[in-house]
A = this chain, B = another copy of it.
């Protein structure tokens, strides 16, 4: 029997999914297993797979099939319709970035990355500036073409490449509330914490002990080791596809919680990927609903649950079992104070939960100005210093600790940063709903029972894949439009609480 246009499309996207899955495994291998000298060979393989994906998405055949499938929409079920919509979105993104532009961007960003590393090393923005200008110019071209294809404003079309469903108007609205409330919140939290500083946790914890703890924590959380792995790399990350999800973390003998918190962060994302709808695993509608949602799952587990008293109550005996630590500095209350310490810092990657949004809001503002044409690249260092000072009352001592600290811009990843902040708002709103719907939520965590949490997430987030838009998904799950209010309620309760010390 002849296949319908829609069925033929599923066939084509099944091929796409296999290419993308193979590419993901190749990236995992590069970061974790590959011999150092083989990067050239791997680069060639990945370039071919990427260009194959692009060729498939931009083929006249796929566009013709999409048109014909749309003409027969009436025969499709809801998930198929959603799948068709996602196919079209991926096609639009691919067509809007022709191979020539991709090639020019790849060349410009790989040069910019090298210069950025040098500039950061030498605290010399001038070395980086001309290359960043080139990347910005090319990204502006890309945004222009994307904008037309997607019917979005240029900067919004860049955001859409990471977190579809969020516009900068939405983000402006969320950040407006934050700007009004956050500075006071940070100040008061720091003052309160100064009254009851935690006992310092000193001494080394061997990597093998940290590894053993991480594996046990993952097992109890419910990570399926027959469908995934934990490895080590220079940075924490998640790779893979539904059915084979692999995370990596980085342990530090001097920092007993760095590795574990990295694991929680990645496990949050991994559980999302593993909980995607199996029946749609090789189709666009079976994928995650974008970076902001992925980040929300990571932050929910690492920040909101992982740095909470119930979680630490459960973790405490495991720390004793694996690390053999029993002093008063390892008491639950002291661990909690240690892991929720608020500090004004110039560096985003070191920032705590409370000051983190400040780092994001600064970058978001600068990005918007760059794409509105009101912020020349050369003005970035001073604009960064002034903006950071205004927002956090801190002036980075140099550009290395200022506008040169992140790789994102060198890599052309404009529109990426807001996902981090959106992720924390989503996480807090999901968490609030979870605790409202289950009065035993905290008790279950304190007991090491994570089944209820993940069952709810699977039903309300993971299992929905990309079948609805991000904002609709959040509204369905929590009964409300996404707002910053739950995050602010959560942050105030956590950081301004009165505790008998």
Contact = CB atoms under 8 A, between A and B. Distances in A.
Contact of A49 (B18, B42, B226): B18
A41 B229 contact: no
A22 B22 contact: yes
A14 B44 CA distance: 9
A243 B38 contact: yes
Interface string A275-310: 000000110000000000000000000000000000
Question: This chain: how many copies in the complex?
Answer: 2
Given A19-B48, A25-B25, A49-B18, A40 B243 contact: yes
Interface stretch (A26-34, A364-372, A415-423, A426-434): A26-34
A35 B241 contact: no
Given A18-B45, A49-B18, A227 B25 contact: no
A200 interface: no
A22 B26 contact: yes
A15 interface: yes
Interface of A: 14-15, 18-19, 21-23, 25-26, 29, 33-38, 40-42, 44-45, 47-49, 52, 224-229, 241-244, 281-282
Chain A residues touching B, majority SS? helix
B243 A48 contact: no
Given A26-B25, A41-B21, A45-B21, A34 B226 contact: no
Contacts of A227: 35, 37-38
B226 A41 contact: no
The residue among A22, A41, A227 with the most chain B CB atoms within 10 A of its own CB is A41
Contacts of A47: 18
A338 to B, nearest CB: 34
Contact of A225 (B25, B35, B224): B35
A227 B226 CA distance: 29
Contacts of A41: 21, 241-244, 281
A360 to B, nearest CB: 35
Contact of A22 (B35, B38, B49): B49
A35 B242 contact: no
Given A14-B48, A15-B48, A41-B243, 19 more contacts: A14-B44, A18-B45, A18-B48, A21-B44, A21-B45, A22-B22, A22-B45, A22-B49, A25-B25, A25-B29, A33-B229, A35-B228, A35-B229, A35-B244, A38-B227, A38-B243, A40-B243, A42-B244, A52-B52
A266 to B, nearest CB: 15
Contacts of A282: 44
B226 A52 contact: no
A282 B25 CA distance: 21
A226 B35 contact: yes
A244 B34 contact: yes
Contacts of A34: 244
